[in-house]
Amino acid sequence: MKKGQKFGTQCVHAGEVPDPSHGAHTTPIYQTSTFVFENAEQGALRFAGKEKGYTYTRLMPNTPTHTAFVEKIAALEGGETGQTFSSGMAAITAVALSYLQQGDHLLSTDVVYGGTYELFSSILTKFGIHVSFVDTSNLETVKKNIQRNTRIIFLETPANPTMMVCDIDEIGAIARDIGALLVVDNTFATPCFQRPLTLGADAVVHSCTKYIGGHADLIGGIVVGKKEFINGMASVVNSTGGTMGPHEAWLCIRGVKTLHIRMEKHSSNAMNVAEFLEAHPKIEWVRYPGLPSHPQHEIAKKQMSGFGGMISFGIKGGTEAGRKLMNSVELCSLAVSLGAVDTLIEHPASMTHLNVPVEVRRKAGITDDLVRISVGIEEFEDIIADLDQALMKI
């Protein structure tokens, strides 16, 4: 990868070289579970980490297909290397198991994906890890909730599903002050619009299921950061086995080649949809980081170069009206997940965030009337027309 190349060029080229065995232009899918050694000595050296190379697909560095994908995302995020996983949740789990132990404290954004909430609140706590969910959009609140054993600060920004934004740079400084690691879930913004490693984060996690893959056809995850951070996960990665499959790694490579084009379209469409919703008489409120009405619009402008494709909103008439809207859309798909080329609409309180206790949800702003839309890359006039006809039915 040549230094100084622009983001879109890196999306297409980073991490990839023509296949050294036959010159294949695209990275081949190494659909193999194991690798043949030239001799027993070489096998021993590879297992001892004294010779670079592949051994077995569950073990880091997995396969050349994984390596190409990892190098691509590492280049885009400004990291040194990375590790892929079978899902975003497997990625977050591996970070937690690698860097937390009994007695440690994890400070997390209070608005996180429901699966992340469950992992932190119900699973890590079983192993004697202390967890606080705090409003990380408020720096004073972050500082107040630091404990002497805080080992990781975990941010999701923009947060799923309230679109709350927090200041990565400022929280990075707090983390450094206390010797804690800052881990940022960058799934919503993608490196196209936000690069947490350049703002002081130690690691970035993604659900590749979303914008990285981009086409709603795979489940995957990745962690990127410094070599030291990623190598520090080897024991957990190798022994828990949540590795991404080679085919998914290839689909991700293919997805990322158009990330810059897709993200621009997601973002400009979302701005149009957000403005339409904000002006609509049947809409009570809209949260989109690109709108001046967003409570952290200034932070978003400072740390993001675009605002992405996710919007949350509430309809006058609350939950019932929202349900009617979701049952009336025709172009938009009523489905969870996000970051697909097509527009998806869902109800977090009864779907993606159902497992978050209702009082926690309400306190964090995941209200019962909240409808979440992942704006696709169709033409925005058609998305708006669909929402308009559905709103007319309420």
Closer of 65 and 209 to ligand LCS (Cβ): 209
**Is 58 an active-site residue?**
yes
- What is the distance, to the nearest Å, from the Cα of residue 257 to the centroid of all Cα atoms in its chain? 17
Cα–Cα distance between 375 and 126 in angstroms, integer? 37
| Smallest separation (angstroms) from ligand LCS to the CB of 262 | 17
Q: Is 185 a catalytic residue?
A: yes
Question: Which C-beta is closer to ligand LCS: that of 181 or that of 252?
Answer: 252
**Which residues lie below 8 Å from residue 240, measured CB to CB, with a gap of 6+?**
90, 93, 94, 97
Give me the catalytic one of 58, 254, 301, 324: 58
Catalytic residue among 30, 54, 99, 113: 113
Closest to 93 measured CA to CA, from 258, 239, 296, 265: 239
Residue 210 is among the residues annotated as catalytic for this protein: yes
Choice between 162 and 187, CB closer to ligand LCS: 187
**Which of 64, 221 has the CB closer to ligand LCS?**
221
* Token reading at 279: 């002006």
Burial of 344 (0-12, 13-18, 19+ CB in 10 A): buried
Half-sphere exposure of 345 (CA within 13 A, CB side): 24
- Footprint on this chain of ligand LCS (rule: CB under 6 A): 87-89, 113, 115-116, 156, 160, 185, 187, 207, 209, 219, 221, 336-338, 352
Please say which residue, 238 or 337, places its beta carbon nearer to ligand LCS: 337
Alpha carbons 332 and 382: distance in angstroms, whole number: 10
- For ligand LCS, the closer CB: 146 or 202: 202
Catalytic position from the list 72, 151, 210, 372: 210
Give the residue with the Cβ less far from ligand LCS, 89 or 100.
89
Q: In terms of CB distance, is 11 or 219 closer to ligand LCS? A: 219
Give me the residue whose beta carbon is nearest to ligand LCS. Answer: 88
Describe the strand order of the beta sheet including 344-346 as a list of residue ranges. 283-287, 310-315, 370-374, 344-346, 333-334
Q: Cβ 18 to ligand LCS, closest distance in Å?
A: 31
Kindly name the residue from 110, 167, 185, 386 that is annotated as catalytic.
185
CA distance 221 to 248: 10
Task: Give the dihedral of Cα atoms 158, 164, 168, 170; nearest 10 deg.
Answer: 170
> Which residues are tagged catalytic?
58, 113, 185, 210
